Every structure is written in C-alpha cells, then in structure tokens.
C-alpha cells in the first residue's frame, strides 16, 4: 500500500496507433493520440481533462486502465505499475479501477436486466457468494444511485437516458472501486438531467472517497466537478493546474481561447464581449505541427514556436504550461 496523497500517477504516457495501408497492411505512420503526458490524481479528488475532439483525452483515460496497451510510459496506481501486472493481477486491480462511458444507450447490453448488468461483475469477482447476496448488493447500490428496487428487473430500453446513466454508474461503483474514469459521462444527457448526474457523482465521491478522472469537452462541467484541471491539445497536456489556477489565471493561449469560446449566459452584455477566435481547424494528430503543436492557430506565435518544442514550465506551485511565451503573454 502507499501512504502518499496521490492515488494515481501517470508518467510520460504515450499511445500511438499505427496507420496501415495497402494489401500488406504496411505501417505507414502513427496517429499520436497521446504523446507524452504526465499527471497525478490525489486520493478522493477529481482531475478534469478537457480538450476538443481528437485531442486524445478519451485514449488517455482508456490507456490508463489498460483498455489500450500503452506505447510507452507508466501508470502507477496505489504504488503499483498497472502495465507490469499479469492478466490475473490486472483482473483484481480492475475491481479498484472502473469506467463510466459516454453513451448510456450503447454501453449497456440490451438483453440483460439491471440485476445482471450491475451484478455480473460482483459474481465474476466472487464478491458475492450466491444470488441472494447479489440481489441485496445490487439493490443497495442502485438505490444509492437513484433507481428503485422495482426497476432492478427491467431492461435498458425501459429507461430514459439519465436513468441509464444511473445504471452505468451503479455498475462502475458496485465493486467498491477507488478510482473511476468518467468519459464524457454527462455529455449525452439533457440539461436538466446533466445536473442530477453531476450531483450524484459528487455525492458518491464524498461517500466512497472516490478519485475521478473526469473527461469532458465541456468547460462548464469540468469547472463544476474538478479539483485539478488538465487541458489537452493534439495528444499533449498543454496546461495543468488547480481549478482556481486554470480558470482564473489561464496561461496557455489555447486555454484562454477555450475559455473565451465557451458561450456565456449573459445576453445583456454579449455585444461587448472580448473573444479571440481561432483560425482554422485542429491539425491531424497523425502529422502534428512542428515545435509547439498549437503554433498554427496561435495568434501569439513567433518563429521559435515553429522550431522548438516548448518545455513544460512550472509557473506557480502545481501550475504548468507548455508555451515558449508563458511569462511574456498574460
């Protein structure tokens, strides 16, 4: 066991997917989905990972759980390296590391009732000895997650999107994990349901002492749930810090742009809002720009940004940004 304040540490993680072409499926290049990221998650806290489509946030979450094999790097969970585990050890470890998926419609087997969906893993990991124990345990967890006892015999199609996400959460929490990856867990839900699920995730965190890696493209949701925030762009963590640091003192130009681009709920002053608009689209992660990957869209870019990869500078305690101009810009 480890006594440090960190539950999970990711060191220099890389995940490259090969691009294959032709009849012989020759490897002609790599999509660098996650390209050398490092971070730590404290016990009982939430790290929010935010970024746009294709930035590698989902791949990062999955590689940490070894749902993808990493290209290189380490994930240390409770002092142990996840990637050095044997199959059997990994299976045991998975009871402690769970995931909640984005789409509550396609991530639940339509042929299984809630009992099986949630109870399956309990039986598989021999946490319960018989069906009666399983039923008790399933009912305990689903009622905590806001479903009723009667709903346990129903099938996924009999539930709405928000209720399905409650099933997904019950399933992840049934094994009493310490760490949960929430991959866009509220993105597919209606606004009024989103807030219910966010509150549920927070309540469960308080009750069970969970640590979350909360992946989302939505800054407003990230701000609500996170203690620390990492901003990803094209496979790299371009800025990292406490929620306070990221939202009140963003230092990377990309973080600034993201914050300014998010719609504000202030129709009265919308005409006077200052906002930097980005030119162009996100470049392909198969062929990322040289130097700083953001330089093609950055309004502050200078020659050095095209040539040299910026180092990850610590601006303040725990506040990092990958930008050459980090001390000159804001």
CB of 264 to other proteins, least distance (A): 6
CB of 19 to other proteins, least distance (A): 17
Phi, psi of 87 (to 5 degrees): -55, -50
CB of 76 to other proteins, least distance (A): 31
Q: Using the rule CB under 8 A, is 154 a contact of other proteins?
A: no
Number of Cβ within 10 Å of residue 189's Cβ equals 20
Residue 59, judged by CB atoms within 10 A of its CB (0-12, 13-18, 19+), counts as buried
d(CA 254, CA 239): 9
CB 163 within 8 A of CB 118: no
Q: Which is nearer to other proteins, 91 or 275 (CB)?
A: 275
Contacts of 192 (CB under 8 A, 6+ apart): none
Residues within window 266-305 making contact with other proteins, judged by CB under 8 A: 266-268, 270, 275, 277-278, 280-282
Q: Using the rule CB under 8 A, is 163 a contact of other proteins?
A: yes
Of 49, 100, 108, 198, the one binding other proteins by CB under 8 A: 198
Q: Which is nearer to other proteins, 83 or 105 (CB)?
A: 105
Among 5-13, 37-45, 160-168, 314-322, the segment contacting other proteins (CB under 8 A): 160-168
Report strand pairing: 179-183 vs 97-100. parallel
> Which residue shows structure tokens 């402690």?
96
Q: Which is nearer to other proteins, 88 or 267 (CB)?
A: 267
Q: Please report, to the nearest 10 degrees, the dihedral formed by the alpha carbons of residues 170, 121, 216, 324 taken in order.
A: 140
Which three-class secondary structure state does DSSP give residue 84?
helix
Q: Using the rule CB under 8 A, is 241 a contact of other proteins?
A: no
Q: Which is nearer to other proteins, 149 or 264 (CB)?
A: 264
Of 109, 131, 148, 220, the one binding other proteins by CB under 8 A: 220
Q: Which is nearer to other proteins, 20 or 270 (CB)?
A: 270
How much is the CA Rg of the chain, to the nearest whole Å?
21
Element (DSSP H or E) covering residue 238: strand 236-242
Interaction site with other proteins (CB under 8 A): 52-53, 160-163, 190-196, 198-199, 202, 217-221, 223-224, 247, 257-268, 270, 275, 277-278, 280-282
């Amino acid at each position: 066991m480890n006594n440090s304040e960190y539950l999970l540490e990711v060191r220099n993680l890389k995940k490259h997917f090969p691009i294959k072409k032709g009849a012989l499926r020759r490897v002609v290049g790599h999509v660098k989905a996650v390209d050398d990221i490092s971070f730590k998650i404290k016990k009982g806290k939430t790290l929010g990972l935010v970024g746009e489509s294709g930035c590698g946030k989902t791949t990062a979450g999955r590689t940490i759980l070894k749902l993808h094999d990493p290209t290189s790097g380490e994930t240390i969970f409770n002092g142990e390296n996840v990637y050095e585990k044997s199959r059997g050890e990994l299976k045991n470890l998975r009871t402690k590391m769970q995931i909640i998926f984005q789409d509550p419609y396609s991530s639940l087997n339509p042929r299984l009732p809630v009992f099986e969906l949630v109870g399956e893993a309990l039986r598989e990991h021999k946490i319960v000895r018989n069906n009666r124990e399983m039923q008790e345990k399933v009912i305990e967890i689903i009622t905590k997650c806001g479903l009723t006892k009667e709903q346990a015999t129903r099938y996924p199609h009999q539930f709405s999107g928000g209720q399905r996400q409650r099933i997904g959460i019950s399933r992840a929490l049934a094994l009493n994990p310490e760490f949960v990856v929430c991959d866009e867990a509220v993105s597919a839900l209606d606004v009024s349901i989103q807030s219910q699920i966010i509150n549920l995730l927070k309540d469960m965190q308080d009750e069970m002492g969970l640590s979350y890696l909360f992946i989302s493209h939505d800054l407003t949701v990230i701000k609500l749930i996170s203690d620390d925030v990492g901003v990803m762009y094209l496979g790299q963590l371009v800025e990292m810090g406490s929620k306070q640091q990221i939202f009140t003192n963003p230092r990377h130009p990309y973080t600034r742009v993201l914050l300014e681009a998010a719609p504000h709920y202030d129709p009265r002053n919308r005409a006077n809002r200052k906002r930097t608009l980005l030119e162009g689209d996100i470049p392909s992660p198969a062929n990322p720009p040289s130097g700083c990957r953001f330089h093609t869209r950055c309004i502050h870019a200078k020659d050095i940004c095209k040539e040299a990869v910026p180092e990850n500078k610590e601006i303040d305690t725990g506040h990092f940004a990958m930008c050459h101009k980090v001390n000159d810009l804001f």
